[in-house]
Structure formats: structure tokens, C-alpha cells
Structure 1
Amino acid sequence: MIGALRAAFRAAAIIGAAMTASGASGETAYSILNFSQLDGWDRDNHAEALEVFLGTCPDLDDPDWQSLCALAQSQTPAGAKQFFELFFRPVLIEDGADPLFTGYFEPELQGSRYRTDRFRYPVYKMPNEARQTNLWLPRRDILTSGVMDGRGLEIAWVDDPVELFFLQIQGSGRIKMPDGASVRVGYGGANGHPYKSVGAEMVRRGIYKAHQVSAQVIKAWVRRNPMAGHELLMHNPSYVFFREVKKVHPSKGPLGAMNRSVTAMRSIAVDPKYTPLGAPVWVEKDGAEPMRRLMIAQDTGSAIKGAQRADIFFGTGDGAGEAAGRLRDPGRMIVFLPIQRAYAMLPEDF
């Protein structure tokens, strides 16, 4: 296996130029690039990326990925850059849509195991009847009909319904208790209704222009207008339930789609239709604060659709949330694939 990889690497070095092939649908294009075509590649901390790659590569089933994972475990930090260059090829995958980078984070809420005058907004586990159907009650009915009352479905109680709403959007977070301990919660299911953006609804109502809307702006407006804000949040019928996560060390990030912790500024959420989970991805994010670094595709998201669409994990807490909320930038992302897999995407008569 390794000999074949080395042979493919030598062939790639001879060919040199980028190669493009249309996908089976005629809409997806694959371009195999050289590492010299990656802006900023030589300046990244490749050892950091290798460490994150090692966190999930043992879970990859395909033989080509398993071989690379075994090799990765024997690499020293100094050899990380050479490892990626020797055994991967950078593949630019395009589906015709404009590239877009956004950010996500792990919220940290204030809460309690018990309801009090301050902590009175419940974080719910998923009821059994919701698991047995693809479409259950909408948000308004879950929160106002009493269907959840007296059933012991509360994981915790928090002090801010707006932060709870955004916790549902993020899908995971931490709840800090009065004694300083934390309860970590992860995605436990949903009611099946499609997500409707409250930001887009604010634009539709003429409250803000599209370029003005962010998570922080939405939160501030809802708090200034509690009654209208409550109704605004009900515009989104989707409702997310949680489960308590007990096996992740507090120093680690939340669990991603691979059921492993994600790492701030090294993990991204992608569309697995185009980008294999566990694959290294070279990110060239433009905008006011350009970013050039190797990240690992370890998560997914309902809003992350397309070959050039990624959500960058910023970390835990308010600071990470503010930075993630500001991010909406163009650029490009290049997926690193095992060499044989990369060349298999090209047409047979290339």
C-alpha cells in the first residue's frame, strides 16, 4: 500500500499542474493541486493539525485512511509537514456555489439542577413520543401547552431564554452551576420541523438590514423588547433536545459528528457529501482577518451544505461566540485526500 502511495506521489510531482474533472452529475469539479499552490502552506503549524487529525483518524474505516492513520501515529512533530505532503494530494472540490466560511462555538450558560426564581428556563431531554415520529410538536406547543410538565425531562434550568435559544442553534454547550461545576450537554434530537431564521425574519419585518444582523444583535433586540422578542423566537418552529455528556474531560472541546471532541481553530464542520469526515482541509479564509491553516473535518451542521461551505469551531464561551458570530467570509477550502483516492476522481481517459 505504501509503495503504491509513493509511486503516485512521484507521478504527481512529474505532472505538476492542476487537473480538473467533472463529477458524474456534471456539476461538481475536482482539481488536484500542488502544495505550492496553497497560500501560506509553509507558514502553518502542521504539528498542531497532525495532532487533531490523530484524534479521529482511528475511526476511519476505509483501508487507505487506516494506512495513513497508522503512519501518522509514528510521526514526530517535526515531520508533520512532510507527512501531509508525501501521502496526500490537495483537491479543490467545487459545485458552482460561492465559497462561504462561518463560525460556531460552544456556549456557556448559567444554570442550576433545580428550578429557582432565577433559573426557570428548562433544558429538556427528548420525550419518548418525539422519538417515535419524524414530526412532533412545534416550538410554541412544546413551551406553552404543558406537554413537558411534571415528567422529569429537565437536565437543568438556565437563567436566559435567549441564550437557551442559541444553545439549540449550536447544538451543544456547557451549563455552569452555582458551585462552579459544569454540566455539558450535547444534541439529543429534534422535533422535525425545519429551522427558520429569526435573523431573516427581522430583515423581512424591516427591523434591520441584512448586513446588520448577527447573533449579538438578535440577542440585544430580544432583551430590549421582551414581548415582541418572545414572539420572534417562536417564529422558528424547530426545537432541539439535549442529552447530558459525561465522558468528555472539561479541558476538551464538545463532541462533533464523529463523536470525538473538536478543537478550537483546527476543527471545521463540513458537508460530508463533498468532504469526508476526518479529512484534513486547507482553509484559505479571506475577509477582514484572513486565515490560512490546516484544519480537520470533524463535524457537520444542518446549514452547512455545499462543496465550498465550512463552519469553523472557535472554542467555548462568550469571547468565542462573539468571534464566531462575526464570521461570514469568502475564500476557498481544499480537501486533502489519500493519493490514490484523489487520482481516482479523474476521468479514465485523463
Structure 2
Amino acid sequence: MAWWARGGLAAILGTLAACSTTTLQPPSAPGAPPPTQAPAAGRRWVAADWPDLPGWGGDDLLAAWPALLAGCQRPAPGWAEFCARAALQSPTDPLEAAALLMKHLRPWRLAADNGETTGLLTGYFEPQLTASRTRQGTFQWPLHALPADPALRRTPRRDIDTNPRFTALELAYVDDPFALLQLQVQGSGRLVMRDASGAERISRVTWAGHNDQPFQSVARALLDRGEVPDATPRTLSDWARRNPAKARDALAVNPRVVYFREEPLPDAAQGPRGALGVPLTPGRSVAVDKACIGMGTPLWLDSTEPWAPGATAAPLRRLVLAQDTGSAITGAVRADLFWGWGDDAAQRASRTRQPLRLWALLPLGVTP
């Protein structure tokens, strides 16, 4: 049973009233109804109560607190006072964290213009690839830096490997062409290399540009030809290992190439920076449509866990932060959950395509 059901909302709010001597003032007198919000393009906001949030009280909110504080490094208008409280009070348990949110924020249910409250949750991740600084053995697939020559930059994928001008632009080499393709789709990732002493070194490569060619799905082409039973990362990589002679032609179906720049990774526990400009937190950062949801907004997510075929789907209900965007993420009830990096994150991301309901949490006195 959730903690708010055991103790009662009023009791919890009363207990936490002593946490601060100053309260954020609501926009109207106590007991007055919340302000109404007219539908806007692509969204509708409806004031809600905390018990309306499915599973509220069952999440470990302390696990989301670092992501919340990271977003507070760039507070949106109206958030400065709450962010100051969140940084100073430093809740010590999920109950205290929840009560701080409940005391100073208000939930708003998100819906489309037509009133539909169910949307779509997908997932993404940061690829982590084993790489070599030199072309050797199975490490035959290069990542390229951005060409300075605009004409060279537009070279289609099929012609890059045969153009000697690209040799000087090769940053590193990986052993899995589909992992490289996934890296290009995601736009950033990690390279794990060993130096001459055998010590492991991890760096990050980030998006530097692309060759202005149209994107075509390699996985879809292989599925249509019956080459693979599904398009999961593991299935595609296994196919490439079994069919090395076909792999280059398979990738050439997609003429688009993404170019990268390499950066040091001083803290391997930090995710890449999202559109908000702060590192993404695995399982707590989401990409949203920023035309509908402001960057940095805390969101209550109600969906189901990604699951393997044949398994039972468990509820996925947690506090997440809007800290990124994506061209495919459109509409108010739409989110792309960042799962982290590595194989497990890749599998979870590939299986995340579930119905979604969302509530935004805004400071008292702030209306959508």
C-alpha cells in the first residue's frame, strides 16, 4: 500500500509543514478552485490532485532527486524558488522528498487537444562500443570526423570507404557495423578502447553533423527480405557476424552518415547532455516535445516496464524529468525514456513501446 494511503495526505502535508517557515503562495485564496486552462496547440492541461497519480507513493523519489537537481541548474521561469528549496532541504528519505513536492507543486494531467489522455512511451540509450584506434582484425568499421569541405561532407555512405580523402578523418574503428549504425541513429555514444598498457579507456563521441543524405531503414530492408526475424540490436549484430560479406551492402541501403567529434569522459557514471544542457540520468530523464512541455519539468509517468516476449508487464510509474528532445517526439502525451548505456539499456530501449499517461508537476502559482 502506498505511503499516502497509509498515513493520509493531510497528515503527510501537515508533518512536512515544519520543514520550511516560508511557503509558496497559490494564485488564489485557500480552497478556491484551480485556474482553468484552455487548450493550446497540441496539448491540454487539466489541474489534478495527488491521489489521481497512479502509483504515487510507490516510487523511490530519492533516486530521481539528482536528476531534479541537475535540471535546477537551468531553472525555467517560476522554478527558481522551488529549486532553491530542493537544493537546501536535501530530503533524506522518499517520504520527505514526496512531501516537499506535494507541498510546493501541483500536478496537471496532460492530454491532446481532442482530450485523449493516453499516448506513447518509447526508449533510447547511449550506445557503448568496443573500439580500436587502428584498423585491425575485426575492427574494420570507421567513425569519421566532420569534413571541412562541404562538398566532401555530402558523400553518400557507399562512396566513403573508397574515397581516400576520408582516411585522415577516421577517429576509431569498431567491430560491429550495426552497433555503428545504431550509434549514428542515436547521435552519441561511448567508445571503450585499451591503450598500449592494456588499461581500459572510455571516451564519448557526439554528433558533429551529417552528410545531408536521406535516411533509409537498414533494419526494415533486412526484415522485408526475410534476412532477420526481428530488428533488435542483438539480432542485427548476430546477422552481421554470420554474413560479413553482405554487411557492407546492407548498410549502403542507408546513404546517410553521421559524423562525430570525440570528447573526454571524466565521469563514466554520467550520461550525455540532453537538450536542457545537463547530463541525462538513466531511468529518470525523458525526451519530450518542447512545444508542449517545458524543458526541466518534472513529470509523473504511468506506463508498463519493457518486457521480453512471454513475460508479464509490470507497472512503470515514476518521477521523470523533461531534459531532452527528439524530432520523432511530438505531442503532449509522448515521452522517450533514457535507459542509460550498454547492452542492457539497448535491450530495454528496443522493447519500450508502451501506452503512456503523463502528469506535469508545476510550482504553485505557475500555470501552463
Q: TM-score, normalised by structure 1?
A: 0.83
Q: Distance in 1 between matches of 2:227 and 2:178?
A: 18
Deviation at 1:67, TM superposition (A): 2.4
Q: Aligned in 2, Cα 1:9/1:237: closer, same or farther, shift over 3 Å?
A: farther
- 1:308 aligned onto 2:333: yes
2:55 is the counterpart of 1:40:
yes
CA deviation after TM superposition for structure 1 residue 290, in Å: 2.1
Confirm or deny: 8 A CA contact 1:58 1:66 kept in the other structure.
no
Matched, 1:169 2:185: yes
The Cα of 1:250 is off from its aligned counterpart by 1.6
Report the AA paired with residue 89 of structure 1: R
Query: So what's the TM-score if we normalise by structure 2?
Result: 0.79
- Segment drifting more, 228-237 vs 297-306: 228-237
Tell whether the 8 Å contact from 1:174 to 1:185 is kept in structure 2 after alignment. yes
The one of 101, 114, 118 equivalent to 1:84 is 101
Output the amino acid matched with 2:333. Q
CA deviation after TM superposition for structure 1 residue 110, in Å: 1.2
Partner of residue 64, structure 1: 78
Q: Give the Å deviation of 1:293.
A: 0.3
Gaps in structure 1 of 5+ consecutive residues: 346-350
Unaligned runs of 5+ in 2: 1-20, 306-312
In the alignment, what sits opposite 1:330? 355
Q: Deviations over 1:17-61 (max 9, x none)?
A: x966321x4x5322222111100111111222222110121223x
Please state whether the residue corresponding to 1:7 is helix, strand or coil.
coil
2:228 touches 2:239 (CA, 8 Å); kept in 1? no
Deviation at 1:292, TM superposition (A): 0.4
Counterpart CA distance in 1 for 2:109 and 2:219 is 32
Q: Which amino acid aligns with 1:122?
A: P
Q: Structure 1 or 2: larger helix share? A: 1
2:146 alignment counterpart: 126
How far residue 104 of structure 1 moved from its aligned partner, in angstroms, is: 1.5
1:21 to 20, 25, 38: 38
What is the rounded CA distance, in whole Å, between the counterparts of 1:116 and 1:222 in structure 2?
Answer: 17
1:224 Cα deviation from its structure 2 partner: 3.5
Q: How does 1:134-153 map to 2 (within 5 A)?
A: 136-149=154-167, 151=168, 153=169
Question: Are residue 296 (structure 1) and residue 321 (structure 2) matched?
Answer: yes
Q: Deviations 1:178-235 (Å, cap 9, x if unpaired)?
A: 23111221222222334333333345446568xx443333333344344444333222
3-state DSSP of counterpart to 2:220: helix
Q: How high is the sequence identity, in percent, across the aligned residues?
A: 36
**Distance of 1:248 and 1:195 partners within structure 2:** 33
State the distance in 2 between where 1:284 and 1:144 align.
49
Number of matched pairs: 331
Residue 99 of structure 1 pairs with residue 119 of structure 2:
yes
Maintained 8 Å contact 1:19/1:33:
no
Which residue identity is paired with 1:40?
G
Between the aligned partners of 1:39 and 1:90, the Cα distance in structure 2 is: 12
1:277 and 1:297 in contact (8 A); partners too: yes
SS of the residue 2:57 aligns to: helix
In the alignment, which residue of structure 2 is the partner of 1:201?
Answer: 221
How has the CA–CA distance of structure 1 residues 307 and 236 changed in structure 2, closer, same or farther, with 3 Å as cutoff? farther
In the TM superposition, what is the alpha-carbon distance from 1:74 to its structure 2 partner? 1.2
The structure-2 alpha-carbon separation of the partners of 1:138 and 1:307, relative to structure 1 and needing over 3 Å to count, comes to farther
State the partner residue of 1:258: 276
> Matches of residues 195-234 of structure 1 in structure 2 within 5 Å?
195-205=215-225, 212-234=230-252
Matched with 1:74 is 88
Which stretch shifts more, 260-269 or 216-225? Answer: 216-225
C-alpha contact (below 8 Å) 2:122/2:335 kept by paired residues: yes
> Which region of structure 1 is more displaced relative to structure 2, 284-293 or 33-42?
284-293
Q: What corresponds to 1:348 in structure 2?
A: none
Over aligned residue pairs, what C-alpha RMSD do you find? 2.9
Query: What letter matches 2:55 in structure 1?
Result: G
- The residue that corresponds to 2:131 in the other structure is 111
Q: Distance in 1 between matches of 2:332 and 2:214?
A: 22
